[in-house]
Amino acid sequence: LFAIAKPSGPVCMTMLDGIKPLISQSRIFSHPSTIEASQKKGKKHRFRHRPGGIKIGQGGTLDPLADGVLIIGIGKGTKKLQTHLDGPKTYRTTALLGAETDTYDSEGKVVRTAPWKHVTREKIESVLDRFRGEITQLPPIYSALKMDGKPLYEYAREGKSLPRPIEARKVTIHSLKCIDWQDGAPLDGDGPGHHFDFPKAQVSEKDKETMDKVRELVVKEGKVEGVAGETEMEAEAVPEALDECRPPIFKLEMQVSGGTYVRSIVHNIGHAIGSAAHVVHLSRTIQGDYHCDEQPGDPGNCISWSVFERAIEERKGDGPRTEDKKDEEWTAWEEAVL
């Protein structure tokens, strides 16, 4: 087991695919004779990246937007990954007020805007207790949730009932606190304050109708009317225009059980305060014995992804390690793992 400090941007599975050839050709994980035998089988060999049956897995994926601790298991280490999947994790997230998106984060499309000028840090802190302890939670239903391999929106468009109830999950929020509040910078300048903006893409009216049908299906078939945090808007008002300054952001730190959707918590808090909110930044700072980003850019006891990026690029140029290279010193990425 080891952990990578994932940056924001890359897809986790793409990262794993990138390091598989490194793992398969490393003396740490394979005997030199096994490496040589796998090379002779050539590119058509089905398990060319798994000589000797080497397996690779991760202890909980992160969205492309997110950064932080990404635990990697190699070989027998993969058997220990479930403990990390189920165990508590600590996150820090930044949320932007005033807009709800279909994915609950800045990668999605704007579903609606909402008033935000009545919101204060104290108001946010006043609703956090609703989300502490054991709660029932649904994943973001408009983005990736599927049933029998079919997205929920397809059932909605076809006017069909769901094959079975939506599985709302019980999760535990061990701790939840607001750690920062920041006003937005002026729209027409570089003044003080943050510079996060709403996504430019908007959900079409047709898609909004489909999304409403999806929610109706979820509530009807899933029987989750009492899901914690899925409250009605506390304030109904005309959304404020983005006239002078960006809406504020608030930052949360939370320790949660496995399977918790941080995006859903932020989305539900937006409803609870009579506004809307979506995630613009997310970091997993602690998982098991691994930690990173105690200071900006600090990998902690994780390995910086840049170490592997350099190794992947070098491998493209030099080719895999061969038998006559087996007595060389460890490479930079191997030293980092060791």
Task: Note if 243 is an active site residue.
Answer: no
- The tokens of 11 are what? 């897809």
Return the ∠ at Cα 277 (arms to 272 and 279), rounded to 5°: 130
Write the DSSP assignment of 219-260 as a string of letters: HHHH--TT-TT-PPPS---PPPP--SBPPPEEEEEEEE-TT-
Number of H helices and E strands in the chain, helices first, is 9, 14
In 10 A of CB 144, how many CB atoms? 10
Return the ∠ at Cα 140 (arms to 217 and 224), rounded to 5°: 45
Nearest in space to 227 (alpha carbons), one of 236, 218, 235: 218
Nearest in space to 91 (alpha carbons), one of 322, 289, 282, 303: 282
CA-CA distance, 276 to 207, in Å (whole number)?
A: 19
CA-CA distance, 308 to 4, in Å (whole number)?
A: 9
Residues 6+ apart with CB under 8 A from 126: none
Bridge-based pairing state of the strands 2-6 and 290-291: unpaired
Catalytic residue among 17, 63, 67, 188: 63
Active-site residue numbers? Answer: 63
